[in-house]
């Protein structure tokens, strides 16, 4: 639900913090493995960000042909301060950062910003998985460490629902410290799991999940795009580069406000 009068103003930091029961969201994330902060940003603002994201995606010739398009590094094609300012409310939202800090500790770091478009009229485009860094533990036959190694803030830039493929998660599965098991393969190629739950919310909502949770994109059966941006956060002592995450280029770092710079100990050029 939205109207121009309700949603025009961007909330201040204090308003954003006061709107949410952060203790409850923290508990949900820790116990169930995910939580949704509804309508953190006004719908119009989220949709404006989504429209610009689609333009950046369309710079890639592969974009039009890919049912699940992932722009892994949203800032790579960005050149202007105007674009950086457009995306900053997602990177530095005080309520989301407060939940992140409770989950991964103080002085946590931010990883590469990804943008995803799930096209309409499609088949389920993803297999069940957990996120970085857990692939490393699987490939190296090591047990998953038993603490929150990373979380992801997934910003809904369109409405999310089961019908348009809202991210599916298996509640509490992060507690198993394992990769998804017992996936049910339907004859039409769709993969389901018992107890799966489809995250939903209006554009501007933020799903935060533990990267150890079993999850995947659903099937978008509607006639409109499903669109989001993901931002992983990890504890300060981990090295994001070692975990396959790409730091932002220095030219982008220099355009960030101080509270977002603090989330980047490294820029891409540190590694060259
Ligand atoms: O597109 C989705 O709903 C799933 C996103 C996802 O798997 C991820 O961010 O790791």
CA gap 148, 146 in Å, rounded = 7
What per-residue confidence (pLDDT) applies to 6? 37
Percent residues over pLDDT 70 in the chain: 94
pLDDT digits (tens, 9 = 90+) for 28-63: 999 999 999 999 999 999 999 999 999 999 999 999
pTM, two decimal places: 0.94
Torsion angle (degrees, nearest 10) of CA 78, 97, 235, 208: -90
In 3D space, the residue among 101, 71, 132 whose CA is nearest the CA of residue 263 turns out to be 101
Q: Tens digit of pLDDT for each residue in 92-115?
A: 999 999 999 999 999 999 988 999
Of 128, 165, 173, 230, the one to substitute when testing ligand 1's pocket (max ligand atoms within 8 A of C-beta) is: 230
In the predicted model, what is the mean pLDDT of the chain?
A: 91
* C-beta of 113 in contact with ligand 1 (< 6 A): no
Give 176-199 pLDDT, tens digit per residue.
Answer: 999 998 888 888 778 889 999 999
What's the burial of 261, exposed, middle or buried (CB within 10 Å: 0-12/13-18/19+)? middle
89: number of CA atoms within 13 Å, CB side?
A: 25
**Closest listed residue to residue 261, CA positions, set 246, 244, 247:** 247
Residue 230 beta carbon below 6 angstroms from any ligand 1 atom: yes
Residue 217 beta carbon below 6 angstroms from any ligand 1 atom:
yes
What band does 124 get if pLDDT is binned at 50, 70 and 90?
low
pLDDT in tens, 205-252: 999 999 999 999 999 999 999 999 999 999 999 988 777 778 899 999
Residue nearest to atom 2 of ligand 1 (CA): 217
Q: Tell me which residue has its CA closest to atom 4 in ligand 1.
A: 217
- Helix axes 43-57 and 81-91, enclosed angle (nearest 10): 130
Q: Is residue 4 over pLDDT 60? A: no
Whether the per-residue pLDDT at 116 is higher than 80: the answer is yes
The share of the chain scoring above pLDDT 90, in percent, equals: 76
Q: Name the phi and psi angles at 189, rounded to 5.
A: 90, 0
Contact criterion met (CB below 8 Å) for 200 and 39:
no
């Amino acid at each position: 639900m939205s109207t121009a009068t309700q949603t025009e103003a961007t909330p201040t930091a204090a308003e954003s913090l006061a709107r949410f029961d952060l203790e409850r969201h923290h508990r949900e994330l820790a116990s169930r493995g995910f939580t949704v902060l509804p309508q953190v940003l006004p719908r119009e603002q989220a949709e404006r960000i989504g429209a610009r994201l689609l333009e950046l995606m369309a710079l890639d010739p592969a974009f039009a042909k890919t049912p699940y398009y992932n722009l892994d590094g949203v800032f790579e094609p960005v050149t202007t301060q105007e674009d950086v300012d457009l995306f900053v409310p997602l990177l530095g939202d005080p309520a989301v950062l407060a939940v992140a800090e409770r989950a991964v500790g103080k002085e946590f770091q931010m990883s590469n910003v990804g943008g995803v478009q799930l096209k309409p009229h499609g088949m389920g485009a993803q297999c069940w998985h957990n996120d970085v860094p857990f692939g490393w533990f699987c490939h190296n036959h090591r047990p998953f460490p038993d603490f929150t190694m990373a979380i992801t803030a997934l910003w809904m830039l369109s409405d999310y629902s089961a019908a348009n493929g809202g991210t599916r998660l298996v509640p509490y599965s992060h507690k198993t410290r394992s990769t998804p098991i017992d996936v049910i393969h339907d004859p039409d190629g769709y993969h389901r799991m018992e107890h799966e739950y489809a995250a939903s919310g209006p554009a501007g909502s933020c799903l935060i999940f533990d990267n150890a949770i079993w999850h995947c994109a659903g099937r978008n059966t509607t006639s409109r795009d499903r669109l989001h941006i993901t931002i992983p956060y990890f504890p300060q002592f981990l090295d994001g580069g070692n975990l396959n995450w790409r730091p932002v280029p220095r030219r982008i770092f220099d355009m960030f406000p101080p509270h977002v710079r603090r989330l980047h100990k490294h820029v891409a050029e540190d590694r060259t």
